[in-house]
């Protein structure tokens, strides 16, 4: 699986050739893919993703579903809120995150716990930590929901393969998945496969802890 992911990254990004972004065929195609996705969203055009959203809403009409696919990433992305709780000065929110790549037939699904520490602030902003893990340590209801989502994803994206988030977030490549601001490009920085194939939102990746299982914390 890692070799398949790496092949897709090299196809779309001029790894090791920072001066080639403007004329690299794969990168030109990548930007075209993102543009076509955004135009389709703006025009309310039917796509495999819109059909997936319809099927999810039909089957789970009580879910708090948040479609983030309007972001200019080479993927479809949505979240499902699982609720929140308060423990002293820590607010904990839980959600499922689903990302479907447009650069290869891959998707991933995982659970995020977001910890907001209200008693500590940096530049007037609450300190937040993201902890990502798979579905094995969740309650039966969440596990059943994730399995159902996987079935629905494959009904709309028939040739797609599930990739464990732990591989995507913990496998790095030297280079940068810069899409728009080439002035900030750092050819010596390391970025995860997830950033190349799914999302380049660096703000989201701050204070991030990626676990294969939540039991690691115990």
Q: What's the pLDDT tens digit per position in 178-212?
A: 665 555 566 677 888 999 999 876 445 556 666 65
Q: Is residue 94 within 8 Å of 82, Cβ to Cβ?
A: yes
In the structure encoding, which two tokens stand for residue 25, read together?
């065929």
Residue 53 in 3-state DSSP?
Answer: helix
Q: Is residue 103 within 8 Å of 74, Cβ to Cβ?
A: yes
pLDDT at 109 over 70: yes
pTM score: 0.84
Alpha carbons 16 and 19: distance in angstroms, whole number: 9
pLDDT at 34 over 60: yes
Mean pLDDT score of the chain, rounded to an integer? 82
- Residue reference for tokens 């075209």: 32
From residue 125, alpha-carbon distances to 49, 73, 118, 128, 130 in Å are 34, 26, 9, 9, 15
- Residue reference for tokens 């039991």: 215
Query: For position 49, what pLDDT does the model report?
Result: 97
In the structure encoding, which two tokens stand for residue 50, read together?
């819109």
pLDDT at 214 over 50: no
What is the bridge-based pairing of β-strands 208-210 and 125-133?
A: parallel
90-125 CB burial, b ≥16 within 10 A, e <16 = ebeebbbbbbbbbbbebbbbbbbbbbbeeeeeeeee
Query: For position 218, what pLDDT does the model report?
Result: 32
Any bridge partners for residue 114, and if so which?
93, 130
Of all residues in the chain, the percent with pLDDT exceeding 90 is 46
Q: Where are the domains of the chain?
A: 2-217
Query: For position 169, what pLDDT does the model report?
Result: 86
Q: Is residue 176 within 8 Å of 185, Cβ to Cβ?
A: yes
Query: For position 55, what pLDDT does the model report?
Result: 95
Alpha carbons 168 and 80: distance in angstroms, whole number: 20
Average pLDDT of span 88-115: 87
pLDDT at 175 over 80: no
Query: For position 132, what pLDDT does the model report?
Result: 66
Of all residues in the chain, the percent with pLDDT exceeding 70 is 74
pLDDT at 70 over 70: yes
Alpha carbons 133 and 111: distance in angstroms, whole number: 5
Out of 29-38, 104-113, 202-211, the most confident range is 29-38
Average pLDDT of span 104-123: 76
């Amino acid at each position: 699986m890692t070799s398949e992911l790496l092949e897709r990254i090299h196809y779309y990004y001029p790894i090791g050739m920072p001066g080639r972004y403007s004329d690299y065929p794969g990168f030109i195609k990548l930007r075209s893919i993102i543009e076509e996705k955004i135009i389709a969203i703006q025009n309310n055009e039917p796509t495999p993703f819109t059909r997936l959203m319809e099927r999810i809403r039909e089957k789970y009409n009580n879910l708090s579903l948040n479609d983030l696919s309007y972001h200019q990433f080479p993927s479809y992305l949505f979240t499902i809120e699982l609720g929140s709780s308060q423990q002293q000065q820590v607010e904990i929110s839980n959600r499922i995150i689903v990302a479907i790549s447009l650069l290869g037939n891959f998707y991933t699904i995982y659970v995020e716990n977001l910890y907001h520490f209200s008693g500590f602030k940096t530049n007037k902003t609450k300190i937040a930590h993201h902890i990502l893990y798979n579905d094995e340590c969740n309650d039966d209801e969440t596990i059943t929901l994730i399995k159902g989502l996987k079935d629905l994803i494959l009904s709309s994206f028939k040739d797609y393969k599930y990739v464990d988030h732990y591989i995507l977030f913990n496998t790095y490549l030297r280079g940068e998945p810069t899409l728009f601001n080439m002035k900030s490009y750092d050819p010596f920085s390391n970025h995860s496969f997830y950033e190349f194939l799914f999302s380049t939102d660096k703000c989201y990746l701050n204070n991030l802890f990626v676990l294969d299982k939540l039991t690691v914390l115990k």
